Structure 1
Amino acid sequence: MRRILLAIILAAGVMYVILHSNLWRTNDSWLPPTDTEKKDQLMPCTLKSNISAILKVHKLNPFLCSNNFLAVSRLNGNNRIELPYGTMRAEKYFQLALSRLQNCGIFGEEDRSSFCKKCVVVGNGGILRNRSLGEAIDSYDVVIRMNNGPVVGYEEDVGRRTTFRLFYPESVFSDPVHYDPKTTAVLVVFKPHDLKWLWDLLSGQRSIKTNVFWKKPAMQMIYKSDQIRILDPALTKITAHDWLHLPTKFSKLEKPKHPTTGLIAMAFAFHICSQVHLAGFRYNFSDRNSSLHYYGNDTMSLMIQNEYHDIAAEQKFLKELMDRNLVVNLTEE
């Protein structure tokens, strides 16, 4: 009788191990977290189910980590797609750049107590001029900006705070006047040279190739290495294919179209925030001479001529989100 009981207990134990292992493999959060991830737990407040279904937003660490980069790439299918939306044939460049970063956490230690974040994504549109939204923008838990949209000198209209700033080599600040110690700078990777550029800057390389970029990139990094993160290309892929339904392949005669950094910032926001509001995302296509940005003298004619983004598709998508009350646009008239 004892032998039978022992056999039953052993069999139950084996079954438990098998089932537990299978659950770990099928759960999208099974990968061992880094120390920083343990603090964050990667579990923001759950979005409403209809938002998750419509926007294809599922639990995903938006930042790549050096210790499990290859495993995460396989899990998300990134290892089967080349840049800009995957990692295939660029693994060594990702690993080089990641080796120079200290962590991949989402929020700082002082912020980790709550993930029910109300966020605002601040675009660089000229619609922000003279709107005096600075105080309202600063009142959000998280303020997300992109590229080289300045804060200094424009505080009344765009606020002072920046929690995250998404950038690529050609769009990042190089003047230390724009440095903010409380900002996390997030690299959006489009080509292997972007990663090589980051590694070169953080390694103190003096000679950096610039002819591989569409315009001269920053030649110094004003952010410290512990402030820098690398965005998982899976988020850019969601933005391009699930949101905008951009083609997955382009002919040699076509210029590939990619999402704007602003829309990628929105996808990022929906992964870390419980509420997402927008500001500065409206463009006036009817007036070619209207201001493109809230800063500088560029006009809408530049955006109309742009062949790398489908701005009409993005504006249509944003309108659908607002019509469904999934986002609030602070600059919608």
Structure 2
Amino acid sequence: MSRMKPTRNLMLVVCFILVLLFLYYSSWRLHLRIWWQKSQSEMDNVFTVGRVVDSVYDKQGFLLKLDGKLPQELMYKYGNLSKGACKPGYSAAKMTAIYPAFKKPAPMFLDRNFRRLTKTSNYLPPFGFKTQERIIESILATAKNYGLGYELDRLSCKRCIIMGNGGILSNKSLGSIIDKYDVIVRLNQAPVKGFEKDVGSKTTLRITYPEGAFQKTDSYEKDSLFVFSAFKPLDFKWLRHIVFKERLRGIEGFWKSVANSVPKQPSEMRILNPYFIQEAAFKFIGLPMNNGVMGKGNIPTLGTVAITMALHNCDEVAVAGFSYDLNYPHAPLHYYEKVKMSAIKESWTHNIWKEKEFLKKLVMAGVIQDLTCGI
């Protein structure tokens, strides 16, 4: 028995040491784990803060730091062109430089293959053409033309200008400069006759919707295309009435009186691709999607839609007559009437201020040129 006592004591000491080692090891593992988690959390915070502080894009995907300088790769492409020469693909290239998600291919007008446009086929007007396919097919079959026309379609480089209707155009004497553009886009009921000195005398296409169309047939230019933009399903029924000279049964659903006829042949009529409304609203401006249905503050103005169209289909894009500035309430709202800027009220459908933020990005980056410096 006396010999076993030291052995037993030794075993107790060994067990005690093992227990201490186990406790030490466990506490070390626990400390290491806590340290690792803390370190990871701190690193995550660093990276998160870094993304906020050092992010180069805003929430819409545009560069945060914008200037008109050409990126190096574009400098090689366009830097040596002679002054005044049309720059092929220029606006799209600069747009891609500040908004990498931009993809240029998007047809200006609907053609007989319009059902293949998957980005718009699942949306109701104004963001698509769902439920209106049969009416569109019948109109396109009658029109038989889906481009700008032979001379313009064959140009290797097109310079386009989108004409806003702002009073800022008055007394600028830009008419001769505007007339030099290959494609001159006008909107709704903005007149030309009597204002040629400031707004030019030519019109390539006039984009409008039922309530925005001229009601007097002699107000339309003879050599321009009538381009229809739909904002609600009822608008397509109105277009069918115009194309086929049918009787328009009632005007319920329109927010004001609409034209009963348009002095254009079906071959002079086009349907604007609704993708431009969708892209301008949800991708460029960041308006609420509202499940793809027209709602409060989620419809871009026709001017911004036209600019979006031009970015996809023109090589150089300019604008004139874009200006809403409530700091000057007594300034003329439009160049062709005496209504003042103070007449602007909060719009149910548009968000003018968010649109202006988007257009400012384009001007600051040199994607578009603002001839009247109103944006």
Give the TM bin, normalised by the shorter chain.
Answer: 0.7 to 0.9
Q: Does the CA contact (< 8 Å) of 1:126 and 1:283 recur in 2?
A: no
Taking the aligned partners of 1:112 and 1:80, their CA distance within structure 2 comes to: 29
Of 163, 174, 197, 2:204 maps to 163
Cα distance, 1:95–1:292 mapped onto 2, change above 3 Å = same
List, as ranges, runs of 4+ consecutive aligned residues in structure 1 with deviation greater than 4 Å: none
Question: Among residues 89, 94, 97, which one is paired with 2:136 in the alignment?
Answer: 94
Q: Which residue of 1 aligns with 2:369?
A: 328
The correspondence for 1:195, drawn from 221, 224, 236, is: 236
Distance 1:224 1:245, change over 3 A: same
Structure 1 unaligned regions, length at least 5: 1-43
Indicate conservation of the 8 Å contact 2:104/2:313, yes or no.
no
Answer yes or no: is the 8 Å Cα contact 1:170–1:218 preserved in 2. Answer: yes
Q: What SS does structure 2 have at the residue aligned with 1:216?
A: coil
Post-superposition CA distance 1:100-125 (Å, at most 9, x none): 322112x2223333130111111000
- Alpha-carbon spacing, 1:323–1:213, altered in 2? closer, same or farther (3 Å): same
Kindly report which structure 2 residues correspond to 1:159-308, keeping only aligned pairs within 5 A, or say none.
159-249=200-290, 255-308=296-349
Q: What is the CA–CA distance in structure 1 between the aligned matches of 2:246 and 2:181, rounded to whole Å? A: 38
1:49 aligns with 2:108: no
- Aligned counterpart, 1:80: 122
Alpha-carbon RMSD across the aligned residues, in angstroms, is: 2.2
| 1:304-332 deviation digits (Å, cap 9, x = unpaired) | 33222111111111111111111111101
Secondary structure at the aligned position of 1:127 is classed as helix
Distance 1:139 1:49 in 2: 23
The residue type paired with residue 298 of structure 2 is K
Aligned residue pair count: 284
Equivalences for residues 63-142 of structure 1 within 5 A = 63-65=109-111, 67-70=112-115, 72-73=116-117, 76-105=118-147, 107-142=148-183
Deviation at 1:299, TM superposition (A): 2.2
Q: Is the radius of gyration larger for structure 1 or structure 2? A: 2
Alignment partners' CA distance in 1, 2:326 and 2:298: 19
Q: Which runs of 5+ in 2 are unaligned?
A: 1-86
Shift of 1:301: 2.8
In structure 2, the CA distance between the partners of 1:237 and 1:154, relative to structure 1 (3 Å rule), is same
Shift of 1:50: 4.0
Whole-angstrom distance in 1 between the partners of 2:316 and 2:241: 37
Paired with 1:89 and 1:204, the residues of 2 have a C-alpha distance of 22
SS where residue 197 of structure 2 aligns?
Answer: helix
Determine if contact 1:289/1:301 at 8 Å carries over to the other structure. yes
CA contact (8 A) 1:151 1:160 kept: yes
- Give TM-score scaled by structure 2 length: 0.71
Q: Please list the CA deviations of residues 29-50 of structure 1 after superposition, one character each: whole Å capped at 9, or x if unmatched.
A: xxxxxxxxxxxxxxx9434534
Identity, % of aligned positions: 34
